[in-house]
Amino acid sequence: MAVEIERKFLVTGADWRTAKGQRIVQGYLNRDKQRTVRVRMAGEQAFLTIKGMTFGATRAEFEYPIPLADAEALLALCDGPLIDKIRHRVDHAGLVWEVDEFFGDNAGLVVAEVELSSEDQSVALPPWVADEVTADSRYFNSSLATHPYCQWPSR
């Protein structure tokens, strides 16, 4: 089984902006607590991703490339608004950090994720990360599609 182990942090400052970014548009065909089914377009590539329930920083993840035309059609079937963001890939202390800068209803939110080989893997935090939000489901992209950052009472 494919497994994703990732930690998520809020981002401060702008030192991460030196990395080139790629626009990502994604939507959800299913956002139930047990599983999410996501369609993502990233540049000229597209993917269908199924993720299982999160336990700590770990969850099952299955991702498959799909034709771009299929992704466009599937995005039109998604329930709720689409997520629009630019993803910057930043190397730090031997790990690749993915910094997502959100737009639209989630504008102003910047989150960094790092994928790990185990939950207890030691991580040297870059100076531009702040609070860890791994366990806060509000920061899941699937949640941001229905409860966007602009609607949060205290940001």
Catalytic residue of the set 28, 64, 139, 149: 28
- What is the reported pLDDT for 155? 62
- Alpha-carbon span 148 to 135, nearest angstrom: 17
pLDDT at 136: 95
> Is 28 in the active site?
yes
Quote the pLDDT of residue 11.
Answer: 97
- Helices and strands (H, E) in the chain, number of each type: 2, 9
The length of the chain in residues reads: 155
C-beta pairs of 73-77 under 8 Å, 24+ apart in sequence: 74/27, 74/29, 74/39, 74/48, 75/25, 75/26, 75/27, 75/39, 75/41, 77/29
Q: Which domains does the chain have, with CATH numbers?
A: 3-151 (2.40.320.10)
Residue type, 149: Y
Give the mean pLDDT per block of 10 residues along the chain (155 residues): 89 88 96 91 96 86 97 94 96 96 96 94 95 95 93 83
